[in-house]
Amino acid sequence: MDNAGLFDQETLPGESVTFTPTRAAGLARLEKFLSRTAQHYERNRNYDFGPERRSNISVLSPWIRHRLITEEDVLKLTLARHSPSSAEKFIQEVFWRGYFKGWLEQHPSVWINYKRDLTQKLDDLAGNSFANADYLTAIEGRTGIDCFDTWAHELIETGYLHNHTRMWFASIWVFTLGLPWQLGADFFMQHLLDGDPASNTLSWRWVSGLHTKGKSYLARPSNIAKFTDGRFDPVGQLSPTAVPLIEDFDHPSLPIPASDALPDAPFVLLVTPEDCQAPALWADKATNVLALPTPKQDRQSDRVHAFKTKALQDSVAGWDATLLTSDWIMQIIETARAANTHHIVTAYVPIGPDADQLNTANTAFAEAGMQLHRVRRPYDTLTWPQANKGFFKVKKQIPKILHGLGLAC
Ligand SMILES: Cc1cc2nc3c(=O)[nH]c(=O)nc-3n(C[C@H](O)[C@H](O)[C@H](O)COP(=O)(O)OP(=O)(O)OC[C@H]3O[C@@H](n4cnc5c(N)ncnc54)[C@H](O)[C@@H]3O)c2cc1C
């Protein structure tokens, strides 16, 4: 993933990004970055100049993660400014997200096992004070490895880390500190504003040598010194090897669950923080708009939980929506009954806590005679089936997918 990129100091001014959880703020950041999505991004993207100098990357991930702005928004505006070939690298990076989402949908046991193993690892910490001390030293940024400690604090304080830094951090966590990857992935999920079950879990597995079996990622001091522009130089502090982890389980590949069609009848629209642009697609056709927040996850930071909740509020603003509370299943059923319909529509919710939450309602919906329609976006329908091997297969299909979406001729 490294680039021998040349960067031009004059074009990289100080630029910090404020993560306001609204579509307007996401579009404003996109607008500001659009002129840099071609050669500038390709040349400079691998450098992490620190949180005050983010002009070389888009930093759009918290908005894209919740679809406050969609991949299609990003691609459409990018292609209005640049040709597909000049913005090729940026466009490919945008598709990495769809690759990971599609891959996890086809390998659900990865998520199930991750959750199971995480519980086990946390239990182990509770019973082993030495292991617990090592874990706390890492997450509190007290390891003595300057770069790692700085990044642990940066993650907690800002809710964001640069992509290259995430790779170095995960590699040091697994191969230098010898900590379980599941605990590192969980630490990221607690604090990343873009924390995503697919991108995060599969990236940690990729670094560890579990995603591309036998191929791990080693964080090298010289690489860190170069791509942090000399801010860090952990020479002699990092493991010189990264022996790939192995697991005694072959995750089966399953078909992607079917997508439902929009019913040809009145329906209630259910909005989740997984797709904050669902109201723009369907709210004007719905009898009611209901917003279902993600419950606060164990260990999740207040910052991440507030971002999700406010993103959801922003997405339904202007639609006279009801924010659902703990009695949400009954609230949905009663709203649908009052509207004289048994159809509930939601944007397809991919694997993760929101899907887990929604699955708990299935039986109650069925008993009440309700039908939940999970409608997938064309972007996902076109991208996910390509994500059953490595990224290369998705990459090859990008022109076809863009064409299918009407974004390129
Ligand atoms: C260990 C590890 C954990 C990660 N966890 C997450 C996570 O929880 N959520 C998340 O969105 N990304 C995750 N990533 C991927 C990547 O680091 C971030 O998407 C990226 O840093 C976001 O910054 P940006 O918006 O400036 O990206 P840019 O480089 O400007 O790219 C534009 C957009 O493309 C997508 N994208 C770019 N690179 C990747 C990638 N490698 N994988 C998936 N999508 C990508 C993002 O939506 C991003 O906003 C992880 C990477 C690693 C190595």
Q: What is the pLDDT of residues 377-398, one digit of tens each?
A: 999 999 999 999 999 999 999 9
160 in ligand 1 pocket by Cβ < 6 Å?
no
- Which residue do the tokens 């522009």 mark? 229
Q: What confidence tens digit (pLDDT) does each residue in 54-107 have?
A: 999 999 999 999 999 999 999 999 999 999 999 999 999 999 999 999 999 999
Mutate to test the pocket of ligand 1, among 45, 70, 97 (most ligand atoms within 8 A of CB): 97
**CATH 1.10.1740 is held by the domain 9-105+383-404:** no
- Which residue do the tokens 């899907």 mark? 355
In CATH terms, the fold of domain 108-227 is DNA Cyclobutane Dipyrimidine Photolyase, subunit A; domain 3 (1.10.579)
Question: Would you say residue 148 has pLDDT above 80?
Answer: yes
Q: State mean pLDDT over 306-332.
A: 97
CB within 8 Å of 139: residues ≥ 6 apart: 152, 187
Cβ(76)–Cβ(94) below 8 Å: no
Predicted pLDDT at 304: 98
Ligand 1 nearest atom to the CA of residue 58, by list position: 30
* CB count in 10 Å sphere of residue 137: 16
75 in ligand 1 pocket by Cβ < 6 Å?
no
Q: Which two tokens stand for residue 124?
A: 């182990």
Bridge partners of 290? Answer: 270, 322
> Percent of the chain beyond pLDDT 90?
96
Domain boundaries, the chain: 9-105+383-404, 108-227, 268-375
E strand or H helix at 358, and its extent? Answer: helix 353-359
Q: Give the Å distance between the CA of 354 and the centre of ligand 1.
A: 20
Bridge partners of 375? Answer: 347
CATH number at 268-375: 3.40.50.620
93 in ligand 1 pocket by Cβ < 6 Å?
yes
Fold matches, 9-105+383-404 and 108-227: no
Distance (Å, whole) CA 348 – CA 356: 12
Q: Give the Å distance between the CA of 342 and the centre of ligand 1.
A: 39
**Strand order through the sheet with 322-323:** 322-323, 288-291, 268-271, 343-347, 371-375
Give the closest residue to 175 by CA, choosing from 115, 219, 109: 219
394 in ligand 1 pocket by Cβ < 6 Å?
no
Predicted pLDDT at 408: 83
Predicted pLDDT at 7: 53
Predicted pLDDT at 164: 98
Burial class, 89, CB count within 10 angstroms (exposed 0-12 / middle 13-18 / buried 19+): middle
**Angle ∠(373,377,383) on CA atoms, nearest 5:** 130
187 in ligand 1 pocket by Cβ < 6 Å?
no
